[in-house]
Amino acid sequence: MLTYYIDEPLSAIEQKMVIEQINKISLNTVEQLMLKQITDQIPTNDCELSHAEIIKVFEDMLIKLGTPAGTQCTFILPKGGLSWGMLLQIAFKNVSKFYPFVVQPWEMSIDKKYKRRERILVTDINSAMPA
């Protein structure tokens, strides 16, 4: 399954955990994750673009990366990516016709530093949407 990341890819052990979780919540069987880094500049939280403009930037970026229509992908949220992560998920939906599986490998520690989760979370918004 095509898997996009921004800051850090998943380790081999993390990939195995993600594949197991996707196979539990998906009708399709995933055997491996094909990692593809998003290297384009991501709009920052303080940019002056509207949400619609940010989604358009993300759509153009996904098209440039060759995101296939009609195929669900996986997106690994980066550190601090929750604020605009939903906008990127909307762009995935607009380009590929599916929201991506969202992998959440990061959590914030008590001292406000990001660290890898022991158990990575995977969500599928498509399963919560009416047909």
Residue 131 has pLDDT above 60, yes or no: no
Q: What is the mean pLDDT of residues 26-53?
A: 84
Q: What is the mean pLDDT of residues 43-66?
A: 86
Question: What's the CA gap between 74 and 131, in Å, rounded?
Answer: 20
pLDDT, tens digit (0-9, with 9 covering 90-100), for 73-124: 999 988 877 667 888 999 999 999 999 999 999 888 889 888 888 888 899 9
Joined tokens for residue 120? 């990575």
Using alpha carbons, select from 10, 82, 74, 73 the residue that is nearest to residue 42: 82
